[in-house]
Structure 1
Amino acid sequence: MILKKSTIFSVLFALTVVFQIQGQEKLYNGNPDTSFETARKLAFNDQRKQAQDTLVHILTKYPNYSDIRTFLATTYSWDGDYKKARKEFAYVIKNDLKNKENWIAAIKNESWSNAYYEAITMADNALKVFPDDAEILLLKASALENIKKPLEASTIVEAVLAKNPEDSKALAFKASLDQSLRKNAIGLRSVVDVYSEVFDPMQLHTLNYSRLTPYGSIITKLNFNRRFNENGVQFEVDMYPKIAKGLYAYVNFGVADSFLFPDIRYGAELHQSLPYSLEVSAGFRALQYDNTTLIYTGSLGWYTGNSYWSLRPYLTPGDGGLSTSGLLNYRRYRANADNYWSTSFSMGFSPEIYQFKVENNENTIINLQSQRFNLSYFFTTHNNKNAWGAQFDLTHQEISFDPGSYFWIYSFTLSWDMRFK
């Protein structure tokens, strides 16, 4: 069947009229304030999609209702849809430059999307409208900190506090910045081992200095050991170079001129972050006396909430076969990485763990039986400048020159570190 041209035009005209009527019916027709309140309730009850649909519907008739558009942008930002939020914030700022809340929300949106340079630019533009505004200045300082410019951030915070020394947000930010600006630390660590029989108490004291660099941290140690009524000193360096995102290394080197320590010790280990908050590592340690003992090790770690679990084996090949040992550790973090308690349990003998508890320094590795339990607690002062630690170890160890006989070792450790710029 062939339709006439006039018929086709009539059908098209009718469809156009229908679509226009439907479009008109979709236009908002109600009380915007009431609908806005309904949308807010939906948004705060985890029904943001419905809330956003309602807000967009209202704006079809009231496009310049800035509070509605700002709230719509905020919900987009909550959902991580930063591009949509940016568009809406730009609209309301253009139409109302004097609304500070819009500027603040827009700057936060840029920071939440990790667009820190854009956040800084937006903060600078906002400061032209609201000169020296403390809230905007602190948002700029936060973005500067996130692009690794803590000194510039600190200067801004100090300026805010110069005008208002009681500004609680600025004071808290200053404390946080002070901690990140402390790239240096000195510390002391003292260990006393008390034996149930055979040996007199033994001591190990360590003076350390560490520095955090853009390439990783470096720690230098001076170890003083007193055993068998003899004194010995060892110099040691630990480095943690960053290699790539999620990949870093551990490198160790130490020298001594005393039989109480290895003549030379060295080691290396690679650490790689994995999905699901996992981390793995693999490496070795070497202790050189008359001969060199190699110890192969690695770890599997898992972060879950405020907890951390790790499992570390030690494999030591020798003339008598392969000596194996393992350590299971659990940490429970509190306020930050410097505040936690920890417990661990290990079985088997490893000269890496027990190098200060062995009775002699011969390089013959035997399959000694040993079990060790550790309980530790670490905390900082209120400004995180000083870090303290206390540990207790209980070890049940076979005597190397009397196989089948055991003694107990009670170890007490205290540590202190002071950080500074």
Structure 2
Amino acid sequence: MLLPWVQANLFQNLLAHLYLIPGSSDWSPYLKEMKIFLWVCLLVGTIFSSTAQIKPAEITFARAREFAVAGDYAQSIKVLEILRDSLPQNTDYSIYLARVYGWNKDYPAAITILKPLIDSVDPPEEALHVMVNTQLWAGNYEEVIKYSNLAQLKYKNSYYQIQKARALAALNRNDEAEDTLQEVLRMEPDNKEARALKTQIFQQRTEHIALSYLNTSFSDPGFKPWHLAYLEYKRDLGKVPVLARFNYADLFEKQGSLFEVDAYPKTGKNSYLYLNAGAALNTPLFPKFRGGIEYFHSLNKHFEISIGSKYLAFEETDVVLLNAGLTYNTKNNLSLNYKPYFTQTEGDWLTSHSLALRITNPIKENFVQIDLQYGSIPFGFVTSTAFTDVTSLRLGLQYRFRLTKNILVQPVFMYEYEEYFPSMYRNRFNSQLITILRFL
């Protein structure tokens, strides 16, 4: 079946053909009236053709967009190609066709369609917009910079500067990316996208030094405070974040130290591992050897699950800790994490539970977290073999904020109502301060 605007064109051509039949000058005296009638028909046909050409095309274009929104890119492309071939002068169809090709990850096809439009004397802004996005999705970062500069020169839109900054960051040209974003923020101080991207680029710094001090005090009855500190160095080895940490403890009137290493290799697009290994240097406080592994997997943008274990080899006994985790992330930068722990020592199994509610500000790189814990595992980490079936109820609060451009500070406080002996309780106060220095 012919499209309506094609039918209209055929009708117009037929009228013209009838009017130009050879020998028409020999027709009857009614020829003059026939000529007028044909002219009227031709005019009506032309108007009808124009109208028929526009309305069905618009309906068809709307249908193509519906296919694209539904994710049926192949069908949308088929319809759009017919539209483009029938009405090549309509650039909207070509640009949207390029956009759909990009969504379908056929970036070369999208770029081929867009290039003649952009190489014209007056390139449409939408064509430049789609070209910048397509080149970014394709990973052609130098091309992103090129077309972003062209678009910004002509249309003065901060969107193109932000896309340029993304490309610069992808090329590890972070200083240039930050300068570009600073230009945006000079003109638009409240541009959230620019501020968030600047924070993301800053977070890509691969090195930091962290210093932590934890004081644990007791009351009713009192007990000599515990002290624990660590010095940590982090950098990326290839694409794997690696942390080396030196721990020092003063507990039970004994001193000791532990050296450990953490690594976070990716195992897939939506998964990674936490690996840990450490050894005590000169103390019975820490395990002679410790090792751990935990697997994290994002199910979607809202849910993440994990499962892991730790092995602690103390002088007197070996301890195995098993844990699992479920994290729920909302659209409003709120996350809820639940973790059950199962500890096996000397034939006994002990359990504990941890619940954490975190509110994050990704632009300022701040977060506030509320912790609720119940069970037998000490706060934060295990330093001794003091595992019993007594339990503690813990409530904690921690807050991280940026003190300067490259210094983050994180105070942590946790109160415990601790059963230190069956049916005997005391108060325990854990106060910790973590300071992180990022290298610029």
1:317 aligns with 2:317: no
Amino acid at match of 2:211: L
The corresponding residue for 1:263 is: 288
> Structure 1 residues 99 and 289 mapped into 2: Cα distance closer, same or farther (>3 Å)?
same
* SS of alignment partner, residue 285 of structure 2: coil
Q: Larger Rg: 1 or 2?
A: 2
Separation in 1 of the partners of 2:183 and 2:361?
34
The Cα shift of 1:211 comes to: 0.9
> Structure 1 residues 69 and 214 mapped into 2: Cα distance closer, same or farther (>3 Å)?
same
Note the 1:148-227 alignment, pairs <5 A.
149-151=171-173, 154-155=175-176, 175-176=198-199, 179-196=202-219, 197-227=221-251
The corresponding residue for 1:415 is: 434
The Cα shift of 1:86 comes to: 5.0
Q: 1:398 aligns with which of 381, 395, 419?
A: 419
- What are the ranges of 5 or more consecutive residues in structure 1 without an aligned counterpart? 1-14, 49-54
Amino acid at match of 1:93: I
1:291 aligns with 2:317: yes
Number of equivalent positions: 378
The Cα shift of 1:69 comes to: 5.9
1:219-248 CA-to-partner distances (Å, cap 9, x unmatched) read: 122222223444332222222222332232
- What are the ranges of 5 or more consecutive residues in structure 2 without an aligned counterpart? 12-47, 71-79
> Structure 1 residues 282 and 156 mapped into 2: Cα distance closer, same or farther (>3 Å)?
closer
The corresponding residue for 2:391 is: 369
Identity %: 18
1:285-316 CA-to-partner distances (Å, cap 9, x unmatched) read: 32423222122222222222212222222212
The corresponding residue for 1:233 is: 257
Separation in 2 of the partners of 1:290 and 1:239?
28
Amino acid at match of 1:376: Q
* SS of alignment partner, residue 264 of structure 2: strand
> Structure 1 residues 127 and 255 mapped into 2: Cα distance closer, same or farther (>3 Å)?
same
The corresponding residue for 1:9 is: none
Note the 1:22-421 alignment, pairs <5 A.
22=8, 27-29=49-51, 63-64=88-89, 68=92, 72=96, 80=103, 86=111, 89-94=114-119, 96-99=120-123, 101=125, 104-111=128-135, 114-117=137-140, 120-121=142-143, 123-124=145-146, 139-146=163-170, 149-151=171-173, 154-155=175-176, 175-176=198-199, 179-196=202-219, 197-245=221-269, 246-275=271-300, 277-305=303-331, 306-319=333-346, 321-335=348-362, 338-350=365-377, 353=380, 355-356=382-383, 361=384, 363=385, 365-381=387-403, 383=405, 385-399=406-420, 402-421=421-440
Q: What is the TM-score of this pair, normalised by structure 1? A: 0.71
The corresponding residue for 1:21 is: 7
The Cα shift of 1:100 comes to: 7.3
1:172-209 CA-to-partner distances (Å, cap 9, x unmatched) read: 69945751452110111111112012412222122211
| CA RMSD in angstroms, aligned pairs only | 4.6
Separation in 1 of the partners of 2:212 and 2:289?
21
Q: Is the 8 A contact 2:317 2:345 kept in 1?
A: no
The Cα shift of 1:138 comes to: 6.2
> Structure 1 residues 71 and 286 mapped into 2: Cα distance closer, same or farther (>3 Å)?
same
Q: Is the 8 A contact 1:141 1:154 kept in 2?
A: no
The corresponding residue for 2:43 is: none
> Structure 1 residues 116 and 144 mapped into 2: Cα distance closer, same or farther (>3 Å)?
farther
* SS of alignment partner, residue 223 of structure 2: coil
- More moved, 15-24 vs 327-336: 15-24
The Cα shift of 1:419 comes to: 0.5
